[in-house]
A and B are shown apart, each in its own frame.
Chain A
Amino acid sequence: MKLEETRVCILRVGGTNCDIETREAFQKSGAKAEIVHFNQLVKQQSLLDFNVLVIPGGFSYGDYVRAGAIWAKMLIAKLGNDIKRFVEEERPILGICNGFQVLVEAGLLPLFDGISPFPEAALGTNIPTGYNCRWVYLKHINHGSCIFTHKIPQNLVVRIPVAHSEGRFMFGNGKEEKCLEKLLENDQLVFRYCNPSGKFASGEYPTNPNGAFFDIAGICDPSGKILGLMPHPERSFFNWQRPDWTGEGSLCVHSDGKLIFDSVVEYLGRRT
């Protein structure tokens, strides 16, 4: 299979609202990406026709209960078998913001022992509470397992914006240490909130914008094929999207988020 033949599925439901710019990011990185309504996938198409699944940002079904919970249940109830095969075949899955919430709620992350029937982690309400839209600094700390970030050098600090009110990554009470050990052991940590020079936030606001445990902004599964992150890389694709690009001159054309899309596209190309 050639790169031109690989298909990226950008899934949406009512309330998804970052699908257009996410598609643009994939397209500009050289992949063939389509926006597909969830109902269409259930009724007419097959998830297995696609090589990459992307769950973009938004407020799926209004998120009137815990963010991502409704869509996660729908995903498992209606496409459970396809999702299982997708994961088994190690086809890449990317969840951005609401997509990360969906993946966690669906038991697809952190995926310690296969797809979990219940969420093994949570994205709780921000501390301090409320919606927060801001650019943050992230340190890439993955050692090489994650196929979405292999083009990002380890320990590089990247700038990507967050915009959410439920992004506080956490594990169950008392399970934190054990789960963290597993994440470290499996090389599942990908991004942590830090300051411009790369010092981890240690929970301090606003460097860590939501109070996430261990400053975690994004994690992958043990195989490195599923990535979930709260920041929006599709909003940090071009240099003119950066918050102070007017002072940076036009030395670079692109911004840091592009590296994520480039990484997965290159991975797809390599596999072919």
Chain B
Amino acid sequence: MMPLNSAQPIQEVEIISANDIELQKISKGLSLGLNQKEMEAVKRYFSQRRRNPTVVELQTIGQTWSEHCFHKTFKGSVITKKGKIQNLFKTYIAKATDELNLPWCISVFEDNAGIISFHEKFGIAAKVETHNHPSAIEPFGGAATGVGGVIRDILGVWADPIACTDVLGFGPLNYDHNKLPRGIKHPKYLFRGIVDGIGCYGNNMGIPTVNGAIYFDDSYVGNVTVYCGCVGLIPMDKFARNARPGDTILLAGGKTGRDGIHGVTFASAELTEKSEQIARPAVQIANPIEEEKLRRGILKIRDNELASGITDLGGGGLSSAVGEMAYRFKCGAHIQLHRIPLKHDDLAPWEIYISESQERMLLLVPNSSLADVLKIFGEEEVEATPIGKLTDDKILRINYADFEAAHLDIDFLFSPPRTERVARWNQPKSVEPIFPEPSDLNPYVLKLLSSPNIASKEKVVRTYDHEVKGSTVIKPLHGDFGGPNDAAIIKPLQDQWKGVVISCGFNPSYGRVDPYWMAASAIDEAIRNNSAVGGRRIALLDNFVWGSPEKPDRMGSLLRACEACYKFAKEFETPFISGKDSLYNESPLGPVTPSLLITAIGIIPDIRKSVSIDLKMFDNLIYVVGQSFAELGGSEYARLKKHEDGFVPKVRVPQAKYAMEGIVNAIDNDLVRACHDLSEGGLAIAAAEMAISSNLGLELRLNNIACAESVRRKDYLLFSESNSRFLVEVPMGKAPEFSRIMKKVPHSIIGKVTKDPHFCIYGLRNEIVIDLKVDELRRAWKSGLEQQYET
């Protein structure tokens, strides 16, 4: 890296005369992350202008064209056996949304976050991000700034953050230290740091963390996975997006420093042994209180209608924020780099421009209200500095004192050469695992309950404040027993009963077998979790965590997942409103298991109708809704049996859709006392979790399960993870009405709630198959994570 030369702070790079090898040397030497084709485009641009670029210009191009900022894989073309696909994003993800064309989608894939309508003039903004690479290097800072970043995305559409979510993927906590490659940190160390980091940011900012998941898988040892989400509330009549040339570009929040240099370039590369050394400066430092003050100022400015545009500073820092704002408003920009408040005064101009220091936002302010805006930030003790102006010439001009640091066409900056990827997919031959049915299934229920992916995450969830703001209606931990509710409900408006329903779906272990059904299952799971508490009118967010797109097999599986996203979003009528991809999750241990997180945002018209997981009253009936199949592939039971292959659960629309709609309809008609979706561990585990969450017991009969004639094994019936199924507690007197509402879906009464806290399941010949005390179940479920942690 070049040190700052105060006599000649703006360095030029000889590119016009550079040959191919030299071009690559330049890209590597300046950590631009640009490939040959891209470097040639840069050379062409400057050759036409008969001058060499400055370092600031090259860095700006490198950041803007990075996978992280431009999503070139999703926007590029893909060559497959069947031909070429132009633009994965438009062909699959956005296509479902476009074709559904739903009136309640206000702003999709356009801003920092997707916006849907909520109540009268209020909208809901939602965004989910990943922060994998930083968290792998510095877990606390990486995770905390991941949360901080996604909160700024919500502020970046003028919304007030009302809830956070997080989904984490770790290697097994008891992973053998001796098997760790150099440079990879132990899952337990990562786990502790990441959980602390997430709690620190959300808690300190006073935003409840209400939904999420923790998943353990060997492929996360080298590729720890951190998804951070945020949901916000916004009065749409205050949504300002009308900037014009002449408006002041205002930088507000923390000072700019050397933390977070080349974060996006780092995020768009594989992790290696040297990542620690090279990339440590790429991880930012978190200060949640700074962001809290920033939030107060921004909301006040919004409510007084003083600004004309806003965006956050995230990946790429100023370079990305300024460019995107100018591009969005079809303007140019003139920036005075030397005005930016710095943490250390020896920062080189290019470092200032691409630094990803945290807790900074960019506002566009008409001159008439600049003084008021500065006053508001002053009152909140937030530093705010005018750093330039929008211009009318579509040129990005950057000055550093008297030196010209950059002079670039905005249009050039936003038209990188199209990336071309090759996709190859070989359908795996699924073989259903063959093993005899165990004679005693009781130990399997207990083992599954204490297995890391199913066991209670209470120890973690209690360290996140999920009650702050006093608006959490359905909580991640239910009641004194900490029952695992399927979704969270937030009541964001003081005098309205309407609620926001937040849930997620995540099935990476199916991804190993078939990414198509993994994606379909994640969509189904997110929607059914939402439906189980009473959520409807659901919008989806997609977050891909994948291996390197430069490798055809990873691209092939990505394409498979995208195909499922289109098909099932369309058929469920649940549009995607926002998404993000994190590719290049590769380490010396191999690629990450294809992981698609689907976040679902629904609404409930009256939160007083919400349904929770816990059993309510003995003698009430238990229904199973939805059809059960022999689908053990990727299931937790198969994992226990050491089988990774098999038929992964499929999604069968329209039946699946009828099941979701039926549940919501039944909830609206006050027929449902408790509801839980069937997911990891299947029917047995879902039933156990309902009992664990209450003081009551269950008595169930496997031979009463609807339309399961083809499945003749008790273990399959107990543990198969077929999608689109629910367990529902219905009062005896309401049974006829419930059955009537469910007539389009296979459903049946399989038992009842008992006063005695006993968990009893009868088999196909009415023999006792499972006979356990609810206390035993609870102990296994609650101690599972700790057992892992302590070994």
Residues in A lying within 8 Å of B, measured CB to CB: 14-15, 17-18, 20-21, 24, 37, 39-40, 57-59, 61-63, 130-135, 161, 163, 196, 232, 234-235, 237, 240-241, 243-244, 246-247, 250
CA distance A63 to B380 in the complex (A): 17
Cα distance A14–B461 in the bound complex, in angstroms? 26
B468 cross-chain contacts in A, Cβ below 8 A: 17-18, 57, 163, 235
A247's contact among B462, B477, B612, by CB below 8 Å, is which?
B612
Chain B residues 425-450 with CB under 8 Å of chain A are none
| Neighbouring B residues of A132 by C-beta, 8 Å | 462-463
Give the segment of B199-207, B238-246, B365-373, B699-707 that binds chain A: B199-207
Q: Could you tell me the distance between the alpha carbons of A131 and B494 in the complex, rounded to whole angstroms?
A: 27
Closest-by-CB residue of B relative to A235 is B470
CA distance A193 to B203 in the complex (A): 23
Q: Can you list, as one digit per residue, whether each of B448-475 has a CB less than 8 Å from chain A (1) or not (0)?
A: 0000000000000111111111111111
A14-B293, A14-B381, A59-B289 as given contacts; A246 in contact with B467, CB under 8 Å = no
B379 touches A37 (CB 8 A): yes
Are B480 and A244 in touch, CB under 8 angstroms?
yes
Q: Within residues 630 to 661 of chain B, which ones have a CB less than 8 A from any CB in chain A?
A: none
Chain A residues near B287 (CB, 8 Å)? 62
Taking CB as reference atom, which chain A residue is nearest B614?
A: A247
Inter-chain CA distance A132–B470, complex, in Å, is: 16
Q: Which residue of A lies closest to B533 (CB)?
A: A246
Interface residues of B (CB under 8 A from A): 199, 203-206, 287-289, 292-293, 379-381, 461-475, 477-480, 491, 494, 607-608, 610-612, 614, 616, 694
**Given A15-B204, A62-B289, A250-B608, A244 and B478 contact (CB-CB distance below 8 Å):** yes
- The answer to whether A39 and B379 have CB atoms under 8 Å apart is yes
Q: Are A14 and B380 in contact (CB under 8 A)?
A: yes
> Number of residue pairs across A and B with beta carbons under 8 Å?
103
- Contacting residue for A62 out of B204, B470, B477, CB 8 A: B204
A163 to B608: give the CA distance in the assembly, Å. Answer: 25
Name B480's contact: one of A39, A63, A232, A243 (CB within 8 Å): A243
Contact A21 B470 (CB under 8 A): yes
B289 engages A133 (CB within 8 Å) = no
Residues of chain B lying within 8 A (CB to CB) of residue A161: 467
- Would you call B463 and A130 a contact (CB within 8 A)? yes
CA distance A147 to B289 in the complex (A): 33
Chain B residues whose CB sits within 8 angstroms of the CB of A247 once the complex forms: 479, 612, 614, 616, 694
Which residues of the partner chain B approach A14 to less than 8 Å between Cβ atoms? 289, 292-293, 380-381
Cα–Cα, bound, A252→B494 (Å) = 18
A237 engages B607 (CB within 8 Å): no
Q: Can you name 13 A-B pairs with beta carbons within 8 Å? A: A14-B293, A14-B381, A18-B469, A21-B469, A57-B468, A131-B203, A134-B477, A237-B470, A241-B472, A243-B475, A243-B480, A246-B611, A247-B479
Docked CA distance A21–B203 (Å): 15
A240 engages B465 (CB within 8 Å): no
B166 to chain A, nearest CB (A): 15
Q: Which residues of A have CB within 8 Å of B289?
A: 14-15, 59, 61-62
Asked if A17 and B292 sit within 8 Å, CB to CB, the answer is yes
Write out the residue numbers on chain B whose beta carbons fall within 8 Å of the beta carbon of A40: 379
Contact of B206 among A17, A196, A244 (CB under 8 A): A17
